Chains A and B, each alone.
Chain A
Amino acid sequence: MKIRIRRYHPSFEPKVKLFEYEGEGSTLLEMLENIKTKDRTLTFNKGCRSGICGCCAVKVNGKEVLACTYEPKENDLVEPLSFSENIRDLVCSASHIETLLKRARAFLEKPSNKKQDEENEKTIRKQTECILCSSCHSSCPVYEVNKNFLGPFALTRSYRYVADIREEEKREKIEAVLKDGIWDCTLCGNCTEVCPQGIDPKNDILMLQGYAGRFGFQNPNLSSFGSFGLDF
């Protein structure tokens, strides 16, 4: 089978180049490994090979997938993720993950003795299956215009803690996701479409907006519309 790979090396000229390879494998990751036996310079990440460590996300024909669970097709175009620093070929830096999670305060503010019950666990079950693969981040159009956007996985994780009954400082959590956060999402749904774990960050963002409303925070974009409306 033939696939195309967009390769990158900062000190080669040209830095970005499209290569065509013949290879085989039942998953894209196996195929990349197979190609690497012939071209040792081809660079990609591999880990658990069972879709759970989140290290091998790439774009195929423009859409984010995990290489270890994607079945390659003839003439596929494989590229690194968008909006995170490309290090070499298909490998991107993961350092944005730490920065975004911290800014979103995506953790329990204080250890808690409160008991989570069955129902509350179910509320956040899906969100806590996130593998931090960054697929959603790469698919999000907001990064074209605002590179400071907190983005889907960090907001999903923020919601996961806001909705956790063990979190008592919900207001602080919400305050942390107002700027470059919940109001900047266009609700396009790309993130939901590409998530390999079936998580729905778009909906989690809507839920956070709901919480924000209850704490008396308003969507700044809407309020300007509001005053515009009054002029009529």
Chain B
Amino acid sequence: MRDVIVVGAGGAGLSAAIAAAERGAEVLVVAKTFPTQSQTCMAQGGINAVLKQNGDSINAHIEDTLKSGAGLAEPEIVKYVCEEAKNVIEWLDSIGTPFTRKKDEIAQRRLGGASKPRACYAQDFTGLKILHTLYDRALKLDIEFLTERFLLNVILDHNGETAGITVLNKTSGEVEQILGKCVVLATGGFAKVYGKFSTNSHQATGDGIGAALRAGCKISNMEFVQFHPTALYSSSVLISEAARGAGAKLINQKGERFVDELATRDEVARAIFKEMENGNEVFLDLTHLGEEFIEQNLPQERRLAVIYEKQDPIKTPLKIKPAAHYTMGGIDVDLRMRTSIKGLYAAGECADAKLHGANRLGGNSLLEVCALGRKAGLEAADEASAKEFPKNRQYEITKRDSAFIKALFTLPNKIDFVKKREFLGKILYSNAGVFRSESGLKGVLAELRQTQKELSFMGLKDRSLRYNTELFEFIEFGNMIEITEALLVGAINRTESRGSHFRVDFPDRNDRSFLAHSVIWKNDEGVICAEYRRVKEST
């Protein structure tokens, strides 16, 4: 029995756990991977904060964030996070984060969409070094970890309040029940629904969002998915924006340039996608930057390009494509990171705190995971301190989940879910990706609903309970199907273009109808319901 159970051990989960523990709560962190394997380690670019007012200002950071959000970022939360940013960096500094420095000061660089250089960084290892420092701090505080546990569902008490979670112990294959007063979901985003067309780690399957949806939570703005313009063609490994910032050129196979490389991520991604639709191949040309520059600034990328694409960027232009990179939408939370269920919080990429709106600014998500992760931890700790433990008994849902896992082993194997998953990624990329249209989106939705029906014919071939990776991937696939439905419904309903969401059949922004968050939930019969909530007028 714990005061606060944090699910997920990335930047958001660890920040929440540390904040809650420092507030005096008994904290347990549960994650499906070892903490430092969380996707946060992949972030390279930086974390935004205005540290000094010389030339830059908190207002400029707020403005840039609101502008990028295209009307859907809520001014109140944007203000909170931008004002908190300096504290976040000072806190990370105080626990040992080795930010890159210029003399005595933390160095800052300019990322796309920012009016000033305000991204703090640690070479190309910003996420890695923040995540590992948070982990070290959590160990110092003796925070308890239960890893290799896969979240299945949120347990609700008879009064509809949070009582804990059910997890699959990955090693034993058993379902376990973990009870606590409050739960913070920090399970990351879902850009991996785009399969091979995503820069994300294999874990980014939106499990926490699926669990929240099943528990009755609202989720919001699921149609907004950011595509990064430059991912390696065959592996979708990210080539950082630093390359274009330094003068890398985008060309097609005829050597022609077709876009201003420094335009926003959306514009560049759309221009590349159009080239590809016209039958062209697109390359990122770094050859003129020289070996020294590439070795200094993009050593990781060079190594990966050589391994995956058999191309050395020093000698040849790299074949690239846009790829799904970040999911703005997620579990609908208020300013205190509370979901629509009492005792259940969400933070980080799995949550939609309305900070990013219709598009995220580079460097703002690492900031979000720390600032709002901490907020969620504090709020949960405070709520827990004024609350009784849930009754210690076996909850119905635990029995159901146990039975469900057993049942999965009895399903016939007529359809291969791995092939389905690959297919789904492909059609999502072509129809619900950079460009969208009603007919394309409805086609994918029809396919998705068909797949939903066929799930019970996709039985497992690996029959062992012990560390059954096929089983984990199948449950992830189920979550992916569940939340992709929300993505598609949101994208179909939003008959306008805004931020990352571009409808070829409705190319203009329509504030009269759509200056609003799309909110989705499931009713008692499990049917998807949707409504719009107007953005709060800024004062």
How many angstroms between the C-alpha atoms of A79 and B303 in the bound complex? 24
B462 touches A51 (CB 8 A): no
The stretch of B279-287, B304-312, B401-409 that contacts the partner chain: B304-312
Residue-wise, chain B 306-342 has the 8 Å CB interface mask toward A (1 for contact) of 0110100000000000000000000000000000000
B129 within 8 A of A: yes
Q: Is A107 an interface residue (CB 8 A)?
A: yes
Contact A54 B37 (CB under 8 A): yes
A52 in contact with B98 (CB, 8 Å): no
- Bound: A98/B140 CA distance, A: 11
Interface check A183, CB cutoff 8 A? no
Are A46 and B202 in contact, with the CB atoms below 8 A?
yes
Within the complex, what minimum Cβ distance (angstroms) separates B362 from chain A? 18
What's the least CB distance linking A157 to chain B, in Å?
Answer: 7
Within the complex, what minimum Cβ distance (angstroms) separates B23 from chain A? 15
B residues within 8 A CB of A63?
none
Q: Which of A45, A52, A161, A164 has the most CB of B within 10 A?
A: A52
A213 within 8 A of B: no
Chain A's nearest CB lies how many Å from the CB of B73?
28
Does B418 count as interface, using CB distance less than 8 angstroms? yes
Instruction: Check A107–B300 contact: CB distance below 8 A.
Output: no
Chain A residues within an 8 Å CB radius of B101: 116-118, 121
Q: Please judge, given known A-B contacts A9-B466, A55-B34, whether A40 and B139 are in contact too, CB under 8 Å.
A: no
Report yes or no: A102 in contact with B303, Cβ–Cβ below 8 A. Answer: no
Knowing A111-B95, A128-B122 touch, does A118 contact B470 (C-beta < 8 A)?
A: no
A-B contact pairs, 12 of them (CB 8 A): A26-B310, A44-B469, A47-B202, A48-B39, A50-B42, A54-B41, A107-B137, A118-B101, A121-B100, A129-B125, A129-B129, A131-B41
Q: CB distance B98 to A40 under 8 Å?
A: no
A107 & B123 in contact (Cβ 8 Å cutoff):
no
| A40-B460, A94-B34, A117-B104 known; A51-B469 Cβ under 8 A | no
Chain A positions within 8 Å of B308 at CB level: 26-27
Q: Which of B95, B171, B418 contacts A87 (CB 8 A)?
A: B171
- With both chains docked as a complex, state the minimum distance between the C-beta of B240 and any C-beta of chain A, in angstroms: 11
Assembly CA distance A47 to B38 (angstroms)? 8
- Whether the Cβ atoms of A108 and B136 lie closer than 8 Å is yes
The contact string, 1 if C-beta is below 8 Å from chain B, for chain A 26-69, is 11000000000100110111111111111100000000000001
Q: Which of A53, A88, A113 contacts B201 (CB 8 A)?
A: A53
Instruction: Please indicate the chain A residues that have their CB under 8 angstroms from the CB of B297 in the complex.
Output: none
9 A-B pairs closest in CB distance: A40-B461, A107-B136, A107-B140, A111-B94, A118-B101, A88-B467, A94-B34, A108-B96, A53-B37
Total CB contacts across the A-B interface at under 8 A: 154
A8 to B37, CA, bound (A): 23
Asked if B95 and A108 sit within 8 Å, CB to CB, the answer is: yes
Counting CB contacts under 8 A, is B33 at the interface? yes
Interface string of B119-134 (1 = CB under 8 A from A): 0001101001100100
Complex Cα–Cα for A29 and B41 (A):
19
Q: Does A10 contact B (CB under 8 A)?
A: yes
B94, B201, B464, B470: which contacts A49 (Cβ < 8 A)? B201
A50-B237, A54-B36, A98-B145 known; A121+B464 contact, CB < 8 A? no
- B469 in contact with A53 (CB, 8 Å): no
- A11 to B418: give the CA distance in the assembly, Å: 27
Contact present for B201 and A47 (CB under 8 Å):
yes
- By a CB distance below 8 angstroms, the chain A residues around B122 are 128
Closest to B93 in A: A116
B42-A52 in contact (CB<8A)? yes
Residues of B within 8 A of A91 (CB): 467, 469
Residues on A with beta carbons closer than 8 Å to the beta carbon of B99: 116, 121
| CA–CA, A124 and B91, complex, Å | 19
Q: Give the residues in chain A near B512, CB-CB below 8 Å.
A: none
B307 and A112 contacting across the interface, CB-CB below 8 Å: no
Query: Which of A27, A102, A113, A128 has a CB less than 8 Å from the CB of B129?
Result: A128
Which B residues, 130 to 177, have Cβ-Cβ distances below 8 Å to chain A?
A: 132, 136-137, 139-140, 145, 147-148, 171
| Cβ of B451 under 8 Å from chain A | no
What residues of chain A lie closer than 8 Å to B398, measured between beta carbons? none
| CB under 8 Å from chain B, chain A span 106-137 | 106-109, 111-113, 115-118, 121, 124-125, 128-132
- B201 contacts which chain A residues (CB < 8 A)? 47-49, 53
Contact status of A106 and B304, CB under 8 A, knowing A49-B201, A118-B103: no
Task: Flag if A157 contacts B129 (CB, 8 Å).
Answer: no
Q: Which residues of the other chain, B, contact A88 by a CB distance below 8 angstroms? A: 464, 466-467
B430 sits at the interface (CB 8 A): no
- Residue A4 is within 8 A (CB to CB) of chain B in the complex: no
Q: What CA separation (Å) do A52 and B201 show in the bound complex?
A: 10
Q: Does B203 contact A (CB under 8 A)?
A: yes
- A44-B469, A55-B37 known; A50+B310 contact, CB < 8 A: no
B200-217 contact mask (Cβ, 8 Å, vs A): 1 or 0:
011100000000000000
List the B side residues contacting A97 at CB < 8 Å. 34
Residue in B closest to A89 when the chains form the complex, CB atoms: B467
Note all chain A residues with C-beta closer than 8 A to B39. Answer: 48, 53
Q: Indicate if A71 sits at the interface (CB-CB under 8 A).
A: yes
Residues of chain B lying within 8 A (CB to CB) of residue A113: 94
Q: A46-B202, A49-B202, A128-B132 are in contact. Are A10 and B41 (CB under 8 A)?
A: no
Contacts of B148 in A (CB 8 A): 93
Interface pair B94/A112, CB less than 8 Å apart:
yes
Set of chain B residues within 8 Å of A111, measured between Cβ atoms: 91, 94-95
One digit per residue, 1 when the CB lies within 8 angstroms of any chain A CB and 0 when it does not, for chain B 458-483 equals: 00111010111110000000000000
Q: Tell whether, in the assembled complex, residue B466 and residue A11 are in contact, meaning their CB atoms are under 8 Å apart.
A: yes
A93→B171 CA distance, assembly (Å): 9
Whether A132 contacts B36 by the Cβ 8 Å rule is yes
Contact status A131-B36, CB under 8 Å: yes
| Residues of chain B lying within 8 A (CB to CB) of residue A109 | 140
Nearest chain A CB to B88's CB is how many angstroms away? 13
For residue B235, CB closer than 8 A to chain A, the reply is yes
Closest residue on chain B to residue A112 by CB atoms: B94
The reply to whether B307 and A9 form a contact with Cβ atoms under 8 Å apart is no
Kindly list 13 other residue pairs between chains A and B, CB separation below 8 angstroms, not including A50-B238, A131-B36, A132-B34: A47-B202, A48-B42, A50-B237, A50-B304, A53-B37, A53-B41, A87-B171, A108-B137, A111-B94, A113-B94, A116-B101, A128-B125, A161-B136
A97 to B148 Cα, complex, angstroms: 14
Asked whether A108 and B467 contact (CB < 8 A) given A48-B42, A50-B304, A53-B36, the answer is no
A106 to B34, CA, bound (A): 17
A129 touches B140 (CB 8 A): no
Contacts of A50 in B (CB 8 A): 42, 237-238, 300, 304
The minimal Cβ–Cβ distance linking B176 to chain A, given in whole angstroms, is 16
Looking across the interface, which residue of chain B has its beta carbon closest to that of A12? B464
Q: Is there an interface contact between A69 and B303, defined as CB atoms closer than 8 Å?
A: yes
Question: Once the chains bind, are A52 and B136 in contact (CB under 8 Å)?
Answer: no
Query: Within the assembled complex, what's the spacing in Å between the Cα atoms of A72 and B148?
Result: 28
B221-241: CB near A (< 8 Å → 1, else 0) gives 000000000000011011000
